[in-house]
Amino acid sequence: MVVVMERNSTQAQIEAVNARLGNLGFHAQLIRGIKRIVIGAVGDCPTNDLHALQQMPGVEKIIPIMKPYKLVSRECKHDNTVINVRGINIGSSNVTVIAGPCAVENRQQLITAARQVKAAGGHIIRGGAFKPRTSPYSFQGLEEEGLKILREASLETGLPVVTEVIDEASLEMALDYVDIVQIGARNMQNFRLLKAVGQIDKPVLLKRGMSATIEEWLMAAEYIMSGGNGQVILCERGIRTFETATRNTLDLSAVPLVKRLSHLPVIVDPSHGTGDRGLVQPMSLAAVAAGADGLIVEMHPEPAKALSDGPQSLTPGELEQVMIQLAMLTPVLGRQLSLGHVSRESAWKGVRL
């Protein structure tokens, strides 16, 4: 930590800061600049002390040197964290694709979607049973009924499932049915919920908040890890900017940057990131080219009939195309994408570039 003193700070003020730093267990060192005194303070700095110091007379500002997160940092753990979900290794050299509808609407829709995801070579099924919706008058999800349908789809296809939880009640319920629980963008700083998923022993897919900095996002992951759950999958899903031509601005440079700062796997959601079906395919390829460990993509058997997020859902045929293109792209990047039972020859034939 570096304490910058005001230009006209007095000797008494400087000594007071020095003394305070000493009491807090810091080792202080003075640097006399041309116009300012700067004090280097060596030691571990709890946030509260930092605030207090900033209030002392003569102090202009405090500059922290160390990152506020620890457990999630690559300094703390050098090797990539690989999260095994029933044999699927998220964060390994394999690229993982999660797909499915925004919401579980009914049994038939979800089972159909799950079969289509499997047929396209997808690895994990997604589907929302608890939907955080901007309007109280919109469809809010099937809740436990939806979770049961998700489990049935998982049993039938053999694919794991992920679903969003929105509070402790829905979390408790979901644990009986799904393989991965998702914390949505709106709940990224719902610290109660973060602490709750820090206690479970299932992987957590943590979406970036729509106005969260990368540091805040990693701090949210730190909440989960500090609770004891190290299985965190980070998910970039677009941030809110002035640009309204897309639903959000997909921040793909966050992918290589977070992989530099943290050992956790990072996936990308090009569906919410763009809100535009026609942009999902190019941004899926771009995400993987940028180093993403996987994708979470919306696909609906009939997007035109979707109860939510229709405009950004791929059709089953479009998902197939994306999977095949990813299978071709990944080897160039030193990675792989398994197409499951889909034969490589038929895949190659199907591709339209």
> Which of helix, strand or coil describes residue 318?
helix
For the CB of residue 33, give the shortest distance to a second copy in the complex, in Å.
Answer: 5
Nearby residues of 258 by Cβ (< 8 Å), 6 or more positions away: 214, 217, 218, 234, 236, 264, 266
Report the amino acid identity of residue 214.
I
Residues 3, 213: Cα–Cα separation, whole Å: 24
Nearby residues of 87 by Cβ (< 8 Å), 6 or more positions away: none
For the CB of residue 321, give the shortest distance to a second copy in the complex, in Å.
Answer: 13
Q: Of the two residues 158 and 278, which places its CB atom closer to a second copy in the complex?
A: 278
User: Among residues 282, 347, 353, which one has the least CA distance to residue 314?
Assistant: 282
- For 345, half-sphere exposure in the C-beta direction (CA atoms, 13 angstrom radius) is 0
CB 178 within 8 A of CB 151: yes
Q: Of the two residues 19 and 155, which places its CB atom closer to a second copy in the complex?
A: 19
Q: Of the two residues 32 and 341, which places its CB atom closer to a second copy in the complex?
A: 32
Torsional sign, CA 94, 95, 101, 102:
positive
For the CB of residue 177, give the shortest distance to a second copy in the complex, in Å.
Answer: 19
For the CB of residue 217, give the shortest distance to a second copy in the complex, in Å.
Answer: 10
Q: Of the two residues 157 and 271, which places its CB atom closer to a second copy in the complex?
A: 271
For the CB of residue 263, give the shortest distance to a second copy in the complex, in Å.
Answer: 15
Q: Of the two residues 91 and 160, which places its CB atom closer to a second copy in the complex?
A: 91
- The phi and psi torsions of 14 (rounded to 5 degrees) equal -60, -45
For the CB of residue 243, give the shortest distance to a second copy in the complex, in Å.
Answer: 6
Q: Of the two residues 113 and 250, which places its CB atom closer to a second copy in the complex?
A: 250
- The phi and psi torsions of 180 (rounded to 5 degrees) equal -135, 135
For the CB of residue 322, give the shortest distance to a second copy in the complex, in Å.
Answer: 12
The string over 57-67, giving b where at least 16 C-beta atoms fall within 10 Å of a residue's C-beta and e elsewhere, is ebbeebeeeee
Q: Of the two residues 159 and 210, which places its CB atom closer to a second copy in the complex?
A: 210
For the CB of residue 237, give the shortest distance to a second copy in the complex, in Å.
Answer: 12
Give me the residue label for tokens 């195309």: 321
- The phi and psi torsions of 250 (rounded to 5 degrees) equal -70, 120
Q: Within 10 A of 233 (CB to CB), how many other CB atoms are there?
A: 27
Q: Within 10 A of 245 (CB to CB), how many other CB atoms are there?
A: 8
Residues 353, 158: Cα–Cα separation, whole Å: 31
Query: Which tokens hold the place of 219?
Result: 């701090």
For the CB of residue 160, give the shortest distance to a second copy in the complex, in Å.
Answer: 26
Q: Of the two residues 137 and 345, which places its CB atom closer to a second copy in the complex?
A: 137
Q: Of the two residues 20 and 123, which places its CB atom closer to a second copy in the complex?
A: 20
User: Among residues 53, 42, 60, which one has the least CA distance to residue 1?
Assistant: 42
Residues 84, 139: Cα–Cα separation, whole Å: 33
> Which of helix, strand or coil describes residue 94?
strand
